[in-house]
Structure 1
Amino acid sequence: MIPNPVIALSWLAWLSCSLALPRGNGTRPGSSSAPSVVVYPTSLPHTRFSGRPSTTGAVSILPIGTGIPSNVGVSPTATSYPSNGQLNSPQPGPFIPAGGAGTSGQTPVYRPQSDFDFQSLALALYQEYIELDLFHDGLARFSEADFTAAGLNPEDRYLIQFMAEQEVGHATMLTNILGPAAPKQCTYNYPYTTVQEFLDFCQKLTRVGEAGVYGFLSHLDSRESASLLLQAITTEARQQMVFRQFEGLFPMPVWFEVGVPQSWAWTLLAPYISSCPEDQTRLVWQNFPALYITNQPNPARTNGASAQAETLGGGINSLKSSGIPPDQLCFNSDNVGVNCQPAITRNRSQPLSYPGRQVSLNWDAPGNPIGPNNSYVTATTAGAPRFVAWVSQLNVTYSPLTTTGEKQGTTIQPDVSTYEGDPAVNGTMFIAITDSDPYLTPFNLSSINQHVLAGPAVYQAG
């Protein structure tokens, strides 16, 4: 298989702000006319950072404002278009309707146009680099026999290898968009010890990357950069589905994929970054205190909803497969609706979670060092814990939190649908502890950040 040439921006094009995409010419990768890719180390340690940070806290600049209002009403022009199915403005050309962004003939420029753009795209690059390392690490850490025992053959392993190669392209594209200050690859630490735990960690981490980009993509000032990133993140969505299939989960149990704010993605990503190069570009995004789901549904179990304390840490809350009795592992079952060996699709008779299920939670206090070189600090501006926010598909739903002790509590999984026939709480989704229940929709979800006390956590609803 020979992939298409990587489309990349040249440094000269970035500096001169001119058109930066080379014309395709059908050449093979590695030929003299194909753009080069980023250089990245292939042998890195996978241990936690143990030194002292030279810099502490997210990047910031003074003066800092008081925040963005959560709701200032509807723009006067937002409802002015008649939406009557007719053409209501003169056409700029034959067969062309009036309107649209970036449709007036200017030469596209693929570079950040604001601090928001740079910080969002830099976050995406951090994500691409960890996935590049993660896929390689799993292939190197586990033997062919380990993968075979987990139901994956050499072609399956090559698919993981090819997904790592995709990340090289994604990292190259974002690096060239960002320019000389683009973040570099770091060193990482991972919690998994078995192939099954590796697959679950991959499917949850790729969901974080996908959802994190969906959350900011439509807000970028650089529409040109958004168009390229969209083409990368649709590939990542397919990666997430593949890992669900490798894990024996139904590949796409939702009608709509969820998007989350940048600070949510950074909170979930940062704990697995050990250290970064000395001159690494720092991020502005918040790190919230970690949220632990102590009875996180476990896809490795025949009855996933019965899991108790079977995760490998907070935040992503990836599954722990060791210690489960063999007769309770769905991988060992031959029964249709129970078996969870890798497959194109698995429709489990007993769902991983369900409306009315009691979910047990505990969370950290703020002020903990986290992330690259332990140089970021968890923080929150929220008040007392009162609700659990369930963020999935098009919905932000809240359930009351019952506190059961210091920084711990329970809640009941809500019974809510996106549309009739589509349970909103499903798939690999997100929850957080909040101090109130503001009404929010996917486009303004970042307004929830000031109310988040802890989280987010990845909840494996299905």
Structure 2
Amino acid sequence: MMWNSFLFLSVLGAVPLSSAIPNGIVIARQTSASSVSVSGPPLRSHPSSQSHTPFSGTPSTTGALTASSIGSGISSAGVPPGATTYPSDGKLHNAEPAPYVPAGGVGTNGSTPVYNARSDFDYESLALALYQEWIELDLFQDGLKRFSASDFQAAGLSSADRDLIAFMAEQEVGHATMISNILGAQAPQQCSYNYPYTNVNEFIDFCQKVTRFGEAGVYGFLAHLDSREAATLLTQSITTEARQQLIFRQFEGLFPMPEWFEVGIPQSWAWTLLAPYISSCPSNQTRLVWQNFPALRILNQPSVSSAGSTGNSSGLNNTISPGTNVVKSPNGSNSSSGSGSGGGALVTSETAALSFPGRQVALQWESAGKAVGPNDSYITTTQAKSAKYVVWVSQLNVTYTPLRVLNNTNSTGLGYGYTIQPNLETYQGNPAINGTMFIAITDSNPVLTPFNLSLINPHVVAGPAIYQAG
């Protein structure tokens, strides 16, 4: 499948910069004002209607995409040479290349931007982001088709709120087109999906959590892309997705942004959370290299307890699926704080957390070896040893708490245990454990930071799971 690609520069209107070269390269080129286009470039085509049932066939291939040679692992290294030599004293230490322009920066030398993948890392990361955009497009449309306006009304959401979700779907068409144009003709296509929600409240909670790991998954790799040009465009799309996530939080009656910093997660974490909801993809679909970890379920997920208020969850087994850990909601129950005339209203305080330090969190995790994802063609794996810790990844923090194992996976295929929600601050006055965040079970507690968090992957026993802390 081939399509034309154009990027735009807001100079004297929408100015087409270039068309796609067959290998996906897009070179920025400004045209004259006299050739300004009055219509936008075409969107990437996608199915208007898809089935939403589990995959029932036999996979033709299994496992993640692999290269002919695989190394033994990436070890932690020291501080790179020169990383601490810049004095940071507020003075200029090199000649200015032009008036008012400080020396340094990447892509600041006047070279023509080329929007393409520059490495396997780039292509696989952007392909993952495209898988994410496709599922969100289908997800938003499915909820609007599956549930009526009266269903949304009963959940406290108005016709205007439905229109907003429909507009979010339009945004996803644009995002998918942009990433497809960068990747070229082999860019992943839209697939068929299977969702766990059964009513509007579960749909909104699922959307809230899907947009969270979509956003966090991009933040995790954005600064590592070799193509800074592609990173720029992806930044401009993922900031829109961040706004979508806040809207869905508000629809649930949650404070839209209780944290000071947004979290980033490794690509394999995002793929682990995404893949179980993909039923099947075209036979020639671009495969991904990322790992699928065993699933992790939070048995007592914190949740919004009633209209306009928050609470600390009730009994066990209150989620409809592992990974996203969407909270069960009986048909007709109103878990949003909206009145039906304008959607969910803001929670009045960002400190009205759903959970609290010292809370016991009950966990269940699977053993490796389960077929998941498109066409059941990916297999969950782990390189870790025995389960010992729970890692809490939120804002700028990577924090561990001991895991009390009640039953391991050796005999039943399911492990059970619990941990205690930690009490810590990112900075004074900012509880680190807040918002829609991530946990996983690990075999050790390596010291990591947001920029090198992917080094945790060999230590992940199961997870991640989305923890609704606030």
TM-score normalised per structure 2: 0.90
> 1:145/1:330 Cα in 2 relative to 1: closer, same or farther (>3 Å)?
closer
1:42 Cα deviation from its structure 2 partner: 0.8
2:323 aligned residue (315, 326, 332):
315
Contact map agreement 1:299 1:319 (CA 8 A) in 2: no
Query: Who is 2:232 aligned against?
Result: 227
> 1:403/1:57 Cα in 2 relative to 1: closer, same or farther (>3 Å)?
same
**Which 5+ residue runs of structure 1 have no aligned equivalent?**
335-340
Query: Who is 1:371 aligned against?
Result: 373
Counterparts of 1:408 and 1:388 in 2: how far apart (Å)? 13
Query: Who is 2:412 aligned against?
Result: none
Contact map agreement 2:16 2:31 (CA 8 A) in 1: no
- Secondary structure, counterpart of 2:243 in structure 1: helix
1:129 Cα deviation from its structure 2 partner: 0.3
> Structure 2: which amino acid aligns with 1:347?
S
Query: Who is 1:387 aligned against?
Result: 389
**2:158 aligned with 1:150:** no
> 1:23/1:123 Cα in 2 relative to 1: closer, same or farther (>3 Å)?
farther
**2:150 aligned with 1:129:** no
> Structure 1: which amino acid aligns with 2:451?
F
> 1:18/1:377 Cα in 2 relative to 1: closer, same or farther (>3 Å)?
closer
Query: Who is 1:422 aligned against?
Result: 430
Counterparts of 1:296 and 1:289 in 2: how far apart (Å)? 18
> Structure 2: which amino acid aligns with 1:38?
R
1:15 Cα deviation from its structure 2 partner: 4.0
- Within-5 A mapping of 1:33-432: 33-69=39-75, 71-301=76-306, 303-322=311-330, 342-347=344-349, 351-406=353-408, 407-432=415-440
Counterparts of 1:145 and 1:24 in 2: how far apart (Å)? 51
- Secondary structure, counterpart of 1:236 in structure 2: helix
**Which 5+ residue runs of structure 2 have no aligned equivalent?**
1-9, 409-414
- Deviation string 1:84-138 (CA, Å, 9 cap, x unpaired) is 1000011101000000000011100000000000000000000000000000000
Contact map agreement 1:296 1:460 (CA 8 A) in 2: yes
Counterparts of 1:266 and 1:26 in 2: how far apart (Å)? 45
Counterparts of 1:25 and 1:170 in 2: how far apart (Å)? 26
Contact map agreement 2:338 2:345 (CA 8 A) in 1: no
1:345 Cα deviation from its structure 2 partner: 3.7
Contact map agreement 2:24 2:181 (CA 8 A) in 1: no
1:185 Cα deviation from its structure 2 partner: 0.2
- Secondary structure, counterpart of 1:408 in structure 2: strand
Contact map agreement 2:18 2:27 (CA 8 A) in 1: no
Contact map agreement 1:14 1:110 (CA 8 A) in 2: no
- Secondary structure, counterpart of 1:298 in structure 2: coil
> Structure 2: which amino acid aligns with 1:54?
S
- Secondary structure, counterpart of 1:203 in structure 2: helix
Counterparts of 2:77 and 2:271 in 1: how far apart (Å)? 27
- Secondary structure, counterpart of 2:273 in structure 1: helix
- Deviation string 1:410-440 (CA, Å, 9 cap, x unpaired) is 1000001100000000000000000000000
Counterparts of 2:239 and 2:449 in 1: how far apart (Å)? 22
> 1:332/1:59 Cα in 2 relative to 1: closer, same or farther (>3 Å)?
closer
- Deviation string 1:52-93 (CA, Å, 9 cap, x unpaired) is 100100000121111111x21001210010111000011101
Counterparts of 1:24 and 1:360 in 2: how far apart (Å)? 62
1:434 aligned residue (420, 430, 442):
442
> Structure 1: which amino acid aligns with 2:304?
P
> Structure 1: which amino acid aligns with 2:378?
Y
> Structure 2: which amino acid aligns with 1:75?
P
1:351 Cα deviation from its structure 2 partner: 3.2
> Structure 2: which amino acid aligns with 1:41?
P
Q: CA RMSD in A?
A: 2.5
- Deviation string 1:329-373 (CA, Å, 9 cap, x unpaired) is 665899xxxxxx711444388631000000000100000000000
Contact map agreement 1:289 1:363 (CA 8 A) in 2: yes
> Structure 2: which amino acid aligns with 1:203?
Q
Q: How many residues align?
A: 448
> Structure 1: which amino acid aligns with 2:388?
R
Counterparts of 1:294 and 1:26 in 2: how far apart (Å)? 62
Give the percent of matched residue pairs that are identical in Structure 1 and Structure 2: 61
> Structure 1: which amino acid aligns with 2:444?
S
> 1:384/1:196 Cα in 2 relative to 1: closer, same or farther (>3 Å)?
same
> 1:363/1:24 Cα in 2 relative to 1: closer, same or farther (>3 Å)?
farther
- Secondary structure, counterpart of 1:76 in structure 2: coil
- Deviation string 1:268-319 (CA, Å, 9 cap, x unpaired) is 0000000001100000000000001001112245533334211111001011
Counterparts of 1:332 and 1:235 in 2: how far apart (Å)? 24
Counterparts of 1:220 and 1:318 in 2: how far apart (Å)? 31
Query: Who is 1:459 aligned against?
Result: 467
Counterparts of 1:40 and 1:21 in 2: how far apart (Å)? 28
1:12 Cα deviation from its structure 2 partner: 3.6
Contact map agreement 2:24 2:183 (CA 8 A) in 1: no
- Deviation string 1:236-287 (CA, Å, 9 cap, x unpaired) is 0000000000110000000000000000000000000000011000000000
> Structure 1: which amino acid aligns with 2:283?
E
- Secondary structure, counterpart of 1:86 in structure 2: coil
> Structure 2: which amino acid aligns with 1:45?
S
- Secondary structure, counterpart of 1:234 in structure 2: helix
> 1:21/1:366 Cα in 2 relative to 1: closer, same or farther (>3 Å)?
farther
